[in-house]
A and B are shown apart, each in its own frame.
Chain A
Amino acid sequence: MSAGLSVKDLSVSHGAIKAIYELSFEVAPGELVALIGANGAGKTTLLRALSGLLAVQAGSASWSGNSLLKKKPEELVRSGIVHVSEGKSVIPELTVQENLAIGGLWRRDKADVRRATKESLELFPALQSRSNQRADTLSGGERQMLAIARALISRPELLLLDEPSLGLAPLIIEQIFESLKQLKAERGLTILLVEQNAMSALKIADRGLILNLGRLVGSGTPTELIHDPQLRSAYLGF
């Protein structure tokens, strides 16, 4: 029984089209793993399947030995698995404060929700002065920070992050990735980071997985992946 995330022979389809083929990998507790691949590689599909948004056709996925499959997303959040979906996963019509609050609505320990909110705002100080603004008035980077901050208020054990760098300026990407590094180091958070931006993701990851057309085509430490000329030219794009 694996203590972290264990995915075995997982297959996921969108209707008749198979998007993930018998995928197997593991993420140890406290590890930050970057899942890299081009558009259409199946990265987002994998995260949606792990967080209960998509049905799985075959295989298994578990966190700390407990199956993640056939569970609703809201149940998985309660088990410590929180997914920040692609595209600045915030509710534009709500204020920053309200977006943060929804991360803790289900939790009974309101004192800890307040603590977690304070910690999230310390991690992303740019949000502090914006608490009464609607989320659609924020910049792309601030929205991404808000999405991660909200996820942290649920006190996750495993954070599934889908393309947090999408559409952001390099400086902002650096800032967000630095925060992820800090979360891993200070809180021991396990992170599965899906990225197209291979270089930035590998800079902060313990390990990398390369996905192509639904199949795992490479895995290893960032140094191993970066120095593999075949993987580098075919999939990493640098």
Chain B
Amino acid sequence: MIVNTLLIGASSGAIYALMALALVLVWRSTRVVNFAQAGQAVLSTYIGYEAMNVTHSYWISVPIAIAFGALIGALVDILFMRVLAGRVQRGPIAEVAPVIATLGLLGLIQSVIGLIWGNAFVQYTSPLSGKGFSIGNETVPFSPQNALIVAAAAVVMGAFALVFTFTDLGLALRAASFQPEIARLAGIKVDRIRTIGWTFAGAAGAVAGVVITPTASLYPNSLDLFFVSGFVAAVIGGLESLVGAVVGGVILGIGFAFILQYIGSSVTFLAAFIILMIVQLVRPHGLFGHKASRHA
């Protein structure tokens, strides 16, 4: 029983981890909490859905959706965030404005999706089975599609961790996000680097959308709850750390699974916020976050 609950928790945790990874990527590149992430991811998934209708192949639709997700991320930065940053440079509003803007963008994207595709549920299906693997006579609550979600989370985390840690681009992304002015004075093209950060996050969000959606249905708000859990997971992990996002997602997924199993479904969503508050009170910088600089 406990093993089954852990498996359920791990697979839903991987879903939250994927959403959390996309959030962390934007945060690490731009210091913005991107509330439009769910909208960007669901729009990319609709593109994948259309690609599958044309090609009749889930596997062809996946890279198309990811490419569009990356493009959407880049366009959000170039057409929206960059213009906003140019207009609001100083004062307390300069820090808050981009976050508020992403909330507005979420509403805009979801409304546009509703206008194009309507609000009805559609099915974006994967050839992988949603039925659990069989071990002997027993069927475990962990399907091939769940395995794909876990693998996608591991690949996204690993790939971006490598980029951020070992490449010049990763160093430029970190420098531009921590201290954009100093990065500029060191010769880094901060605007371009930020666009790359949004592009990466858009692609990661699209990965989340195309692997999660076959386990449910697709509609304009279909990723909203996953996003909220992903946000909680990212904060648990420290908002800064890619590993933290995955650990936060898994903690949340397993926590939900046990609550669902032993307490009931009515309190699972409430539990997310209780966990968030406990983490904020006990470890405000999250499990993998750093304290602010002692001298800066």
Interface locus among A4-12, A95-103, A184-192: A95-103
Q: Does A72 contact B (CB under 8 A)?
A: yes
With the chains together, A146 CA to B185 CA distance in Å?
Answer: 14
The digit string for B165-196, where 1 denotes a CB below 8 A from any CB of A, is 00010011011001101111111111000000
Q: Does A67 contact B (CB under 8 A)?
A: no
Of A85, A106, A154, the contact of B182 (CB 8 Å cutoff)? A85
Q: A91-B175, A101-B171 are in contact. Are A136 and B296 (CB under 8 A)?
A: yes
Q: How far is the CB of A71 from chain B (nearest CB, A)?
A: 11
Interface locus among B35-43, B155-163, B287-295: B287-295
Q: Are B184 and A72 in contact (CB under 8 A)?
A: yes
Q: Are A74 and B189 in contact (CB under 8 A)?
A: yes
Is chain B's interface secondary structure helix, strand, loop, or mixed overall? helix
Q: Are B295 and A143 in contact (CB under 8 A)?
A: yes
Which A residues touch B185, using CB under 8 A? Answer: 51, 53, 73, 77, 82-85, 89
Q: A92-B293, A93-B293 are in contact. Are A102 and B178 (CB under 8 A)?
A: no
Q: How far is the CB of B68 from chain A (nearest CB, A)?
A: 30
- The size bracket of the interface on B is 20 to 34
Q: A98-B171, A102-B183, A105-B171 are in contact. Are A92 and B188 (CB under 8 A)?
A: no
The digit string for B19-34, where 1 denotes a CB below 8 A from any CB of A, is 0000000000000000
- The size bracket of the interface on A is 20 to 34
Q: Are A150 and B184 in contact (CB under 8 A)?
A: no
Q: Are A78 and B187 in contact (CB under 8 A)?
A: yes
Residue of A nearest to B186 (CB): A102
Q: How far is the CB of B57 from chain A (nearest CB, A)?
A: 40
Q: Are A106 and B187 in contact (CB under 8 A)?
A: yes
With the chains together, A226 CA to B183 CA distance in Å?
Answer: 38
Number of CB contacts from chain A to chain B under 8 A: 80
Q: Does A94 contact B (CB under 8 A)?
A: yes
Which A residues touch B188, using CB under 8 A? Answer: 74, 102, 105-106
With the chains together, A53 CA to B181 CA distance in Å?
Answer: 8
Q: Are B186 and A150 in contact (CB under 8 A)?
A: yes
Q: Does A90 contact B (CB under 8 A)?
A: yes
Q: Are A154 and B178 in contact (CB under 8 A)?
A: no
Q: A102-B186, A106-B188 are in contact. Are A85 and B181 (CB under 8 A)?
A: yes
Which A residues touch B178, using CB under 8 A? Answer: 91-94
Q: Are B181 and A74 in contact (CB under 8 A)?
A: no
With the chains together, A84 CA to B182 CA distance in Å?
Answer: 8
Residue of B nearest to A154 (CB): B187
Q: Are A102 and B189 in contact (CB under 8 A)?
A: no
Which A residues touch B181, using CB under 8 A? Answer: 53, 73, 85
Q: A136-B293, A136-B294 are in contact. Are A103 and B187 (CB under 8 A)?
A: yes
With the chains together, A73 CA to B189 CA distance in Å?
Answer: 9
Residue of B nearest to A143 (CB): B295
Q: Are B175 and A94 in contact (CB under 8 A)?
A: yes
Q: Are B175 and A92 in contact (CB under 8 A)?
A: no
Which A residues touch B171, using CB under 8 A? Answer: 94, 98, 101-102, 105
Between-chain CB contacts (< 8 Å), 23 pairs: A53-B184, A74-B184, A77-B185, A77-B187, A85-B181, A85-B182, A91-B179, A93-B174, A93-B290, A93-B293, A94-B178, A98-B175, A101-B168, A102-B171, A102-B186, A103-B186, A105-B171, A106-B186, A136-B293, A136-B296, A137-B294, A143-B295, A154-B186
Q: Kindly list 5 other residue pairs between chains A and B, CB separation below 8 angstroms, not including A92-B178, A92-B296, A93-B293.
A: A91-B182, A93-B174, A94-B175, A102-B172, A107-B187
Interface on A for B, CB 8 Å cutoff? Answer: 51, 53, 72-74, 77-78, 82-85, 88-94, 98, 101-103, 105-107, 136-137, 140, 143, 150-151, 154
